[in-house]
Amino acid sequence: MDFDLSPKMRVILEMINEFVERELMPLEHEYLHRPWEEVEPKLAAKREMVKQMELWAPLHAKEHGGMGLDLVEYGLVCEALARTPTGVYVFGCQAPDAGNIEILMKYGTPEQKERYLEPLIAGRIRSCFSMTEVDQPGSNPVMMDTTAVKEGGDYVINGHKWYTSSADGSQFAIVMAVTNPEAKPHLRASMIIVPTDTPGFNLVRNIPVMGHSGGGWHSHAEILYQSCRVPQANLLGPEGHGFVIAQERLGPGRIHHCMRWIGICNRSLELMCQRALTRASAPGRKLADEQIIQAWIAESAAEMRAARLMVLNCAWLIENKGVKEARQDISLIKFYTAGVMQRVVDRALQVHGGLGMTDDTVLASFYRFERAARIYDGVDEVHKVSVAKRILKEFAAERGIQ
Ligand SMILES: Cc1cc2nc3c(=O)[nH]c(=O)nc-3n(C[C@H](O)[C@H](O)[C@H](O)COP(=O)(O)OP(=O)(O)OC[C@H]3O[C@@H](n4cnc5c(N)ncnc54)[C@H](O)[C@@H]3O)c2cc1C
């Protein structure tokens, strides 16, 4: 495996790094502290600049107006964009839209593609993904209460979801609901497109997460589906295949997240070094002279290097051997990289002392919002259990242990 940058990728990453520093980092404070409606027009103007530079939608196919990068290349782009919180949004590759685009691309009917996919890729609309429920364990989503019952030519959806990220201002949700209650557990649910202006789609509130309710793209909603009626033509993919499709979506999606987290580590380490080299610890000494700070920098660099190579290796595996072959690696990178990010951000914040706790640097927001990385897209524990079970099974088979 060779992860050396091609000349094309070198240029792309240089352009992105420059844009992130010049155009997006200055907007960080405003993005984190002003209402979404106030910041969104400024981000829209930056999006136009990105389109002019032909760097829009790096993951998506060229025929859809994207850059058509492969998964390893796109991972490198995510890493560069994540140094600032609005990077992925401004370049048209933000979650949950990126994942929904992939589903629509693969499973959408021509009508669904025209109505939902094209405007979504172009950045004219936003979307959300509504699976997790208030009263059932998201870690075991086959335990789902939400139902979609056929009536006439429609599905009638009832259920109580939350953590439907970015629902506020979205034009449609992809909703997971039980359509085949008698089937095997993982074949009971389907994905259904629900326009958010459908009667019965009730956005109850943006949930305060770590004290921040946010708004627009930067929010997580609680949603009550009450006799929410949509045509059966809004079914995405085969009926009962919701979990199968979700599994496909999550594999590459974890590369996007993990490389984004490495980008957050990069920014945190930069800030850590900057502060250590400029802050006195004693007369004539700087923080950078203290061995404990040096150890944090070295430990961060080592963990980041390990995580980065694991993620790139996994991206390569998905690209060349398929999601199934990479399943173990997908779990490994998910919990390992989330943990590395949490430790690196924590060390960077600690080096900043009281300043780290303020919002005068981006670190406190990384600390607040990125803690969730160990929870969404599969909690740490579930990934660890699945990795361990597989290792034990293979070991037992090799040694003939019953
Ligand atoms: C910021 C954020 C954004 C999100 N965005 C979305 C979204 O856009 N769409 C969506 O549908 N969902 C979203 N989610 C929801 C997320 O997917 C769930 O929170 C996650 O799957 C965990 O489910 P739960 O919260 O119900 O926790 P539970 O399933 O109740 O688990 C609670 C805890 O129990 C432990 N645990 C669970 N199972 C096991 C086990 N088998 N072994 C050992 N320990 C275990 C873990 O420590 C876990 O953290 C988001 C969550 C967050 C925090």
Across 313-318, average pLDDT: 94
CA 260, 266, 268, 270 dihedral sign is negative
Q: Which of 138, 35, 168 is nearest to 376 (CA)?
A: 138
Model confidence at 63, pLDDT cuts 50, 70, 90, reads confident
Same domain, 263 and 144: no
Q: Is 137 in the pocket of ligand 1 (CB under 6 A)?
A: yes
pLDDT at 156: 98
Same domain, 85 and 169: no
On average, the pLDDT of the chain sits at: 96
Alpha carbons 121 and 212: distance in angstroms, whole number: 28
Residue 336, both tokens: 């390992």
Of ligand 1's listed atoms, the one at least distance from the Cα of 138 is 23
- Residue of 100, 144, 163, 191 with the most ligand 1 atoms within 8 Å of its CB, for mutation: 163
Q: Is 132 in the pocket of ligand 1 (CB under 6 A)?
A: yes
| Strand segments (E) across 196-306 | 201-206, 220-231, 235-236, 280-282, 285-286
Question: ∠ CA 181-183-187 to the nearest 5 degrees?
Answer: 100
Q: Is the pLDDT of residue 305 over 80?
A: yes
Q: Does some domain include residue 307?
A: yes
Same domain, 218 and 142: yes
pLDDT at 190: 98
pLDDT at 232: 98
Across 31-59, average pLDDT: 96
Same domain, 231 and 293: no
Residue 180, both tokens: 């085949």
Q: Does some domain include residue 372?
A: yes
Q: Does some domain include residue 22?
A: yes
Q: What is the pLDDT of residues 187-227, one digit of tens each?
A: 999 999 999 999 999 999 999 999 999 999 999 999 999 99
Provide the 10 A C-beta neighbour count for residue 98.
23
Across 86-102, average pLDDT: 96
Phi first, then psi: give them for residue 244, nearest 5 degrees: -65, -45
Reply yes or no: is the peptide bond before residue 96 cis, omega within 30 of 0: yes
Q: Which of 87, 7, 18 is nearest to 47 (CA)?
A: 87
Q: Does some domain include residue 50?
A: yes
Same domain, 230 and 250: no
Domain count, the chain: 3
Alpha carbons 211 and 32: distance in angstroms, whole number: 12
Across 297-312, average pLDDT: 98
Q: Is 138 in the pocket of ligand 1 (CB under 6 A)?
A: yes
Among 73-82, 146-155, 317-326, the least confident range = 317-326
Q: Is 139 in the pocket of ligand 1 (CB under 6 A)?
A: yes
Q: Is 388 in the pocket of ligand 1 (CB under 6 A)?
A: no
Domain boundary among 183, 212, 236: 236
Same domain, 328 and 350: yes
Q: Is 165 in the pocket of ligand 1 (CB under 6 A)?
A: yes
Same domain, 271 and 374: yes
Model confidence at 351, pLDDT cuts 50, 70, 90, reads very high
Q: Is 372 in the pocket of ligand 1 (CB under 6 A)?
A: yes
Return the bridge partners of 133, or none: 161
Model confidence at 252, pLDDT cuts 50, 70, 90, reads confident
Q: Is the pLDDT of residue 249 over 80?
A: no
Q: Which of 113, 129, 191, 185 is nearest to 155 (CA)?
A: 191
CATH (domain of 180): 2.40.110.10
Same domain, 303 and 385: yes
Rg value, the chain, Cα: 22
**C-beta of residue 217 within 8 angstroms of C-beta of residue 35:** no
Ligand 1 geometric centre to CA of 380 (Å): 9
Q: Does some domain include residue 111?
A: no
Ligand 1 geometric centre to CA of 198 (Å): 27
Percentage above 70 pLDDT, the chain: 100
Q: Is the pLDDT of residue 325 over 80?
A: yes
Residue 172, both tokens: 């449609």
Q: Is the pLDDT of residue 161 over 90?
A: yes
Percentage above 90 pLDDT, the chain: 94
Contacting residues for 303 by C-beta, under 8 A, at least 6 apart: 340, 343, 344
Alpha carbons 237 and 247: distance in angstroms, whole number: 13
pLDDT at 358: 96
pLDDT at 52: 97
Alpha carbons 341 and 359: distance in angstroms, whole number: 19
Model confidence at 240, pLDDT cuts 50, 70, 90, reads very high
Same domain, 208 and 258: no
pLDDT at 65: 86
Same domain, 368 and 248: yes
Q: What is the dihedral of CA 260, 97, 322, 320, to 10 degrees?
A: -60
Q: Is the pLDDT of residue 64 over 90?
A: no
Contacting residues for 270 by C-beta, under 8 A, at least 6 apart: 83
CATH (domain of 36): 1.10.540.10
Phi first, then psi: give them for residue 400, nearest 5 degrees: 65, 30
Contacting residues for 140 by C-beta, under 8 A, at least 6 apart: none
Q: Does some domain include residue 170?
A: yes
pLDDT at 212: 93
**Domain carrying residue 322:** 243-399
Alpha carbons 379 and 167: distance in angstroms, whole number: 22
Residue 225, both tokens: 């589906």
Same domain, 336 and 363: yes
CATH (domain of 289): 1.20.140.10
Q: Does some domain include residue 61?
A: yes
**C-beta of residue 269 within 8 angstroms of C-beta of residue 352:** no
What is the identity of the amino acid at 166? S
Of ligand 1's listed atoms, the one at least distance from the Cα of 141 is 21
Q: Does some domain include residue 110?
A: no
Domain boundary among 190, 219, 236: 236
Same domain, 93 and 221: no
Domain boundary among 206, 236, 266: 236
